[in-house]
Structure 1
Amino acid sequence: MQTVTEGRRDTSLKANWRVFAVTLYMGVALFEYGFDKGAIAGFQAMPGFLQVFGYQTESGEWDIHAGPQQIISSFMILGSVIGSLLTGFVGAHCGRRYGLILGSVIVIICIVIMSETTSLGALYFSRLFIGVGNGLLLNFTVLYLQECTPPRFRGLCLSMVTCWITIGTTIGMVINHQTSGMKSREAYRIPLYVCYPAPAILILTLPLFPESPRWLLQHGKPEAALRSLRFFRQGAYDEVAVQQEFEEMRAAARREKDQEHLQNRWLLIFELFRGVNLRRTIIAVAVGTANAAVGAMFILAYGTYFFQVANVGDPFKWIIVTNCVGLAGLFTTWTIVTHVGRRRIILAGCMLCTIPMLLMAAVYSAPGVSPNGAGIALVVLVSIYVFGFNFGLESYVYLVAGEMPAQNLRGYTMGLSTAVSFTFAWLSAFTTPYFINPGELNWGPKYGYIWFASSIVTTAFLWYYLPEVRGRTLEEIDEMFRNNVPARDFPKYVCVESLEASARAALTVRGEDKPSSAHLEAV
Structure 2
Amino acid sequence: MAPAQADRSSHNDGGEWQDVGEGVRNNSLRANWRIFAVTLYMGISLFQYGFDKGAIAGFQAMPGFLQIFGYQTPSGEWAIKSGPQQIITSFMILGSIIGSLLTGVIGARIGRRYSLMIGCVLMIVCVVIMAETTSFAALYASRLLIGVANGILLNFTIVYLQECTPPHFRGLCLSMVTCWIAIGTTIGMVINNETNDIMSRKAYQIPLYICYPAPAILILTLPFLPETPRWLLQHNRPEEALKSLRFFRKGAYDEVALQQEFEAMKSIARREAEVKNDWRLFFELFKGTNLRRTIIAVSVGTANAGVGAMFILSFGTYFFKVAEVGDPFQWIIVTNCLGLAGLFTTWCIVTHIGRRRIIIAGCIMCTVSMLVMAILYSVPGVNTHGAGIGLVVIVSIYVFGFNFGLEPYVYLVAGEMPSQKLRAYTMGLSTAVSFTFAWLSAFTTPYFINPTELNWGPKFGYIWFGSGIIVTSFIWYFLPEVRGRTLEEIDEMFRSRVPTKEFPKHVCLENQEARERGLMNVIGDDKPGATHVEATSKH
> TM-score with structure 1 length normalisation?
0.97
Task: Describe the superposition over 1:28-62 as per-residue Cα deviations: whole angstroms up to 9, x where unpaired.
Answer: 00000000000000000000000000111111111
What percentage of residue pairs aligned between the two structures are identical? 75
SS of the residue 2:23 aligns to: coil
Which of 347, 369, 379 in structure 2 is aligned with 1:366? 379
Match of 1:330 among 343, 347, 362: 343
Once the two structures are superposed, residues 481-523 of structure 1 have per-residue CA deviations (whole angstroms, 9 ceiling, x without a partner) of 000000000000000000000001101110357xxxxxx99x9
Distance in 2 (alpha carbons) for counterparts of 1:6 and 1:107: 47
Asked if 1:154 corresponds to 2:170, the answer is yes
Deviations 1:289-320 (A, max 9, x none): 00000000000000000000000000000000
Q: Tell me the equivalent position of 1:125.
A: 141
Question: For residues 294 and 323 of structure 1, what CA distance do their matches in structure 2 show?
Answer: 17
Q: Is 2:198 aligned against 1:182? A: yes
SS at match of 1:312: coil
- 2:131 maps to which of 82, 95, 115: 115
Equivalent in 200, 217, 241 of residue 225 of structure 1: 241
Distance 1:434 1:496 in 2: 55
2:229 and 2:520 mapped to 1: Cα distance?
Answer: 22
What CA distance in whole angstroms lies between the structure 1 residues aligned with 2:39 and 2:262? Answer: 21
**1:57 equivalenced with 2:73 (yes/no):** yes
Partners of 2:493 and 2:139 lie apart in 1 by 47
Q: Which secondary structure does the structure 2 equivalent of 1:9 belong to?
A: strand
Q: CA deviation at 1:6?
A: 1.4
Aligned to 2:513: 500
List aligned pairs for 1:348-387, cutoff 5 A.
348-387=361-400
Q: Which residue of 2 aligns with 1:516?
A: none
- Please point out which of 28, 37, 48 is paired with 2:64: 48
Does residue 77 of structure 1 match 2:84?
no
Counterpart of 2:174, as a letter, is: L
Q: CA deviation at 1:5?
A: 4.9
Tell me, yes or no, if the aligned pair for 2:105 and 2:278 is still in contact at 8 Å.
Answer: no
Q: Pick from 406, 415, 423: which aligns with 1:402?
A: 415
* SS of 1:8 mapped into structure 2: strand
Question: Are 2:216 and 1:200 equivalent residues in the alignment?
Answer: yes
Give the drift of 1:8: 1.4
Match of 2:356 among 343, 349, 359: 343
Letter in 2 for 1:255: R
In structure 1, what residue type is equivalent to 2:411?
Answer: Y
Structure 2 residue aligned with 1:173? 189
1:14 partnered with 2:14: no
Task: Give yes or no for the alignment of 1:310 onto 2:326.
Answer: no
Residue from 233, 252, 257 that aligns with 1:241: 257
Query: Which runs of structure 1 show a deviation greater than 4 angstroms over 4 or more consecutive aligned residues?
Result: none
Paired position in structure 2 for 1:490: 503
Structure 2 residues not aligned, in runs of 5+: 1-19, 527-533
Give the distance between the partners of 2:480 and 2:298, measured in 1 at CA. Answer: 14
Supply the AA of the counterpart residue of 1:73: T
2-side partners of 1:111 and 1:512: how far apart?
58
Secondary structure of the corresponding residue to residue 407 of structure 1: coil
CA distance in 2 between partners of 1:415 and 1:159 (Å): 19
CA-based RMSD: 1.3
**What is the one-letter code of the residue matched to 2:115?**
G
> How far 1:399 moved relative to its partner?
0.1
Q: CA deviation at 1:393?
A: 0.3
The one-letter code matched in structure 1 to 2:446 is: P
1-structure distance, mates of 2:68, 2:88? 13
Which of 442, 454, 459 aligns to 2:455? It is 442
Q: 2:154 aligns with which of 115, 125, 138?
A: 138
Q: Deviations over 1:143-167 (max 9, x none)?
A: 0000000000000000000000000
Could you give the per-residue CA deviations for residues 237-257 of structure 1, whole angstroms, max 9, x where no partner exists? 011111000000000110011
1:468 matched to 2:484? The reply is no
